[in-house]
Amino acid sequence: MAGLALFLSACADPASHVPPFARDPYQPFSRDAAVAIALGEWRAFGAPVDDDAPGTRPPPPPDAKPERMEGLWQRVGLYWWLGLDAGARPGRWTGRHDATGAEFPAAEDERFAWSAAFVSYVMRLAGAGDRFPYGPAHNRYINLAAAGDTRRWAVTAAPPDRAAPAVGDLICFSRTPHPMNFADLPAGRFPAHCDIVVAARPGLLDVVGGDVDDAVTLKHVPTTPAGLIADARYPWFVVVRVLYPPPQTGRW
């Protein structure tokens, strides 16, 4: 009976499936950790770079999508499993399977878009604990960042024409028919995409995102001399600042 009680208690814990090093972080949540994890996943996918304008690069044929290749569809499955809380149905998805384990057609992969799961996975493994709003869609952390409850969540939001993204932040654009503006937030459910800033230098950001060209992909985002986004390719509309604890203390 004691064993059953322990099992049921673990199942009730939404993060019970998370490795101990991330559930009770062995190291403080940090920008360095988030960046290193994101770059490690990028290298696992072969370090692809896409600086083309959206829609100008031909998509890979269905049988050549990285997310469906051996060794990579399993990684996408880890993003879903570890990025989401225990019990979430999408947590059973992979880069080519639905929650029942059945393989879905490559042409239907938009229904299983995993870019938000990738961000959640990175933040989870980096040690964000219960301070990051993990979810299967980007609108969850965008909206909560815009709501500004920093006592509960370690995210806040700023407009990209006023805030220079820092390493470890997220930059996001909407995928709505008409691009959204920062003033529209919070906005309920909406399709979006966010990338993690992994490097910043004069005139340029390096950002890594999941499910870009069906892979973890890096792109370069031009910036102004003040560090503001100056990229007309994408309708960037919000900078999600991740409030990492001060490195001196490692505590919020």
Domain membership of residue 10 (yes or no) is no
The label of the residue with tokens 């490195």 reads 247
Domain membership of residue 102 (yes or no) is yes
Q: What does the pLDDT look like over 185-205, one tens digit per residue? A: 999 999 999 999 999 999 999
Q: What does the pLDDT look like over 118-148, one tens digit per residue? A: 999 999 999 999 999 999 999 999 999 999 9
157 three-state secondary structure: strand
Q: What does the pLDDT look like over 79-123, one tens digit per residue? A: 999 999 998 999 999 999 999 999 999 999 999 999 999 999 999
Number of domains the chain contains: 1
Domain membership of residue 248 (yes or no) is no
Confidence (pLDDT) at 4:
41
Q: Using the predicted structure, report yes or no on whether residue 1 has a pLDDT greater than 90.
A: no
Q: Using the predicted structure, report yes or no on whether residue 10 has a pLDDT greater than 60.
A: no
Q: Name the H helices within 13-155.
A: 20-23, 31-44, 73-83, 115-125, 139-147
Domain membership of residue 60 (yes or no) is yes
Q: Using the predicted structure, report yes or no on whether residue 179 has a pLDDT greater than 90.
A: yes
Domain membership of residue 247 (yes or no) is no
End-to-end CA distance of the chain: 39
Domain membership of residue 29 (yes or no) is yes
Percent of the chain whose pLDDT exceeds 90:
85
Nearest Cα to 38, choosing from 67, 79, 73, 69? 79
CA–CA dist 22, 124 (Å, integer) = 6
What is the pLDDT confidence band of residue 7, given thresholds at 50, 70 and 90? Answer: very low
Side-chain half-sphere exposure of 86, counting CA atoms within 13 A: 13
Confidence (pLDDT) at 27:
95
The label of the residue with tokens 């890096």 reads 218
Domain that holds residue 200: 18-242
What is the pLDDT confidence band of residue 219, given thresholds at 50, 70 and 90? Answer: very high
Interhelix angle 115-125/73-83, nearest 10 degrees: 60
Q: What is the pTM of this model?
A: 0.93
Domain membership of residue 94 (yes or no) is yes
Domain membership of residue 25 (yes or no) is yes
